[in-house]
Amino acid sequence: MANPTTFPGDVVCSGDLRLTGSVTPLKNKSAILANESKEQVVPFSSLRVWDAFGTLLPATPATDDLGLVGGTFATNSPSVQTVDFGGTSTTAYARFLAEIPQDYVAGQSFKLRFHGGMHTTVADTTCTLDIAAYRSDEERGISADLASAAVANNIMSLSYVDVDFTITATTLNPGDILDVRMSINGVDSGDLGVDIRGVVGSIKMVYDGR
């Protein structure tokens, strides 16, 4: 570095700043970039049977297992669904691992977002999506449940909505692994013969990152 110029105070540039050389000393992203809200998809292909983790979700929803319904290619996108619980009730589950993204800023906002609603007909009593989320210690142990509580009837609508669960982020770091169980509870008292299902169309991690 020949003949560097030293400025005694701040420098304000009202136009573009163009670098033709390198920046020295090198800086971490935290010293240059501001936090911004980011999203990362949790692929449905990672969902498992909650009490038989070595087993993929069934294509047809079962008594206590959510189903991974592929739909018709070029007509329907895949979704996670309950059984038709018209005239009855159901509580069904799925489990997955979510790796905290490497660009997540430790200790900052982290949410799991589910885009869900109901298929064909709304239940006449309740339909609620909930989760439990535990951080793995990578030695077969887990933390306390880090997920916020569900809001009652949060997907009881034919218009799909985003349902956010805030994850306690006090000790959360990039690369951490969350063990998540999602559940849908539905109760319908009088609609026998009507197709009533709870449905999730996407799962995303929404977080502060750089």
Question: Mind listing the pLDDT tens digit for each residue in 127-142?
Answer: 999 999 999 999 999 9
The predicted structure's pLDDT at residue 194: 84
With a cut of 70, say whether residue 34 has pLDDT above it. Answer: no
Pairing of strands 177-187, 89-99: antiparallel
d(CA 70, CA 80): 9
| Domain of residue 74, residue span | 34-209
Is 176 within 8 Å of 170 (Cβ atoms)? no
Number of domains in the chain: 1
Q: Is residue 141 part of a domain?
A: yes
Is 181 within 8 Å of 94 (Cβ atoms)? yes
Q: Is residue 186 part of a domain?
A: yes
| Mean pLDDT confidence for 76-99 | 97
Q: Is residue 27 part of a domain?
A: no
The predicted structure's pLDDT at residue 30: 56
Domain CATH code at residue 55: 2.60.120
Q: Is residue 14 part of a domain?
A: no
Q: Is residue 17 part of a domain?
A: no
| Percent share of the chain, pLDDT over 70 | 91
Q: 68 to each of 136, 193, 200, 207, how far by Cα in Å?
A: 25, 22, 10, 26
Q: Is residue 56 part of a domain?
A: yes
Q: Is residue 6 part of a domain?
A: no
Please give the backbone phi and psi of residue 185, each rounded to the nearest 5 degrees, phi first: -110, 125
d(CA 97, CA 173): 15
The tally of CA atoms less than 13 A away on the side-chain side of residue 166 is 9
With a cut of 80, say whether residue 1 has pLDDT above it. Answer: no
Among 32-46, 64-78, 178-192, 195-209, whose mean pLDDT is lowest?
Answer: 32-46
Residue type, 67: G
